[in-house]
Chains A and B, each alone.
Chain A
């Protein structure tokens, strides 16, 4: 039997893909387990989480500039992820990483922060290149 630590939420399938008005890439995923309050708390370490009251279902949104945004409902297995236009290739795995490190607790937070720094570094390099090319 696997330990609880390794029972991570997995993506079962991607059911929809669409390019949005702002150029971001939207993907809708079906997960093998419903999203939890714990996942929302984990998300708070990495971006802005909004979860308004008084809706029929517990809706949340997550926004992380230059990375991704997420929309979904806790208790649901479906989630919508938007990959920001500018660095889609660099952030393509970011949602998977969030799912992967969520169950790691404190260790997961610091590990993902480290990965995030590395991605930001690549973003800066790319931005620097584009500024040089533009000048």
Chain B
């Protein structure tokens, strides 16, 4: 079988890959099927050894992919939101006393809402650093730091503006100043090379279902020093079961209950697919599509593009005289082109770029074709021409 599109492609164009990539590589789907074909290999829980130890294999794949280790410091969660909740609330619990935290206007609600909850509970004071053009600089972060600052949570790539943040100098500065730095890599993991051996983050968050090509429901984080974050979940780990206190060893310290084996198998296969195809090849293809799309879009009267030079395959725009939801509705129902409309769970970005009204977002994957991009821009042109201006 080639990739699954050839025999199962429904009649639509999917440009919502920043939310969830589709289609998935065939080998990812095969791995999920393989994983479920035999009883799960759960170390400590099962005596059988018939199937692959996906937990160890995936952790090792992640450690190699992100150049960080040991593999046990990669923790599996449901998704990036789950990871961020564990890390943010766990760090606050560990710190114990009220402190100051910093985040940015570029963030997704997966960052903003846990921090806001802590703020409402009086656990933290919060500074939200503005972005300039499409990025947040070290200088802007430094300006927000005060003696009580203990935590900075920041996106690596904006899901609206597609801008990649230069996190290395920020990580180095925060590390030197003993401020815990959580990087949300939901949009960048898989899209661009990430070498954590060179970036001293406190924790790096990823999700599987986007550019790592896995199925929804699997994500995780890398944590440099597990002692910086308190455990907020306890339960069965298959180890040290006589002890009622949750184990402190990694990775079970942060993992309770049965794992999402199909998800982990798909993550393992997704990383293998990226390595086999070549991350440069993937990045070149998606960014070529992105640039072509932008070039075409710029020619259309009445289009406002909010990120003409993104670092990720994400293009956000509005059509004059037509509400973004309406544009998305027409594109989906009349032209069978699926994009994302609205605030993309990043309300503060939209307050800056479109008065909080939201926009249409097209996002591309390795499996998007040039023909699909052209069909999409042709459709957008027709919708723009029909709008009242």
> Which A residues are closer than 8 A to B by beta carbons?
20-21, 50, 52-57, 59, 61, 71, 73, 76, 78, 80
Contact = CB atoms under 8 A, between A and B. Distances in A.
Main secondary structure of the interface of A (DSSP, over half): loop
Contacts of A76: 333
Complex A-B, nearest 6 residue pairs according to Cβ-Cβ distance, in ascending order: A52-B386, A57-B334, A56-B334, A54-B386, A55-B386, A71-B329
A86 B385 CA distance: 33
A59 B388 CA distance: 14
Contact of B333 (A50, A53, A54, A57): A57
A76 B332 CA distance: 13
A25 to B, nearest CB: 14
B94 to A, nearest CB: 35
13 contacts: A20-B325, A50-B388, A52-B387, A54-B385, A54-B386, A55-B330, A55-B386, A56-B334, A56-B335, A57-B333, A59-B334, A59-B386, A78-B333
Of the four ranges (under 10, 10 to 19, 20 to 34, 35 or more), the interface on chain B belongs to 10 to 19
A80 B326 CA distance: 10
B334 to A, nearest CB: 4
Contact of B358 (A21, A55, A71): A21
Given A54-B386, A80-B329, A73 B342 contact: no
B343 to A, nearest CB: 6
Contacts, number: 36
Interface string B311-333: 00000000000000110011001
Contacts of B280: none
B382 interface: yes
A59 B330 contact: yes
A84 to B, nearest CB: 14
Given A21-B357, A54-B385, A56-B334, 17 more contacts: A20-B325, A21-B343, A50-B388, A52-B386, A52-B387, A53-B386, A54-B386, A56-B379, A57-B333, A57-B334, A59-B333, A59-B334, A71-B326, A73-B334, A76-B333, A78-B333, A80-B329
B138 interface: no
Contacts of B343: 21
Most A CB contacts (10 A, CB to CB) among B333, B379, B385 go to B333
A21 B342 contact: yes
B383 interface: yes
Contacts of B357: 21
B276 to A, nearest CB: 38
B383 A61 contact: no
Nearest to B335: A56
Contacts of B325: 20
A21 B326 CA distance: 13
B345 to A, nearest CB: 11
Contacts of B358: 21
A57 B330 CA distance: 9
Contacts of A52: 386-388
Nearest to A52: B386
A50 B330 CA distance: 13
A92 B376 CA distance: 36
A20 B324 CA distance: 12
Interface string B255-294: 0000000000000000000000000000000000000000
Contact of A61 (B326, B334, B342, B382): B326
Nearest to A72: B333
B3 to A, nearest CB: 28
B348 to A, nearest CB: 14
B357 to A, nearest CB: 8
B335 to A, nearest CB: 6
Interface in B171-221: none
A76 B330 CA distance: 13
A34 B104 CA distance: 47
A20 B333 CA distance: 19
A55 B380 CA distance: 10
Contacts of A73: 333-334
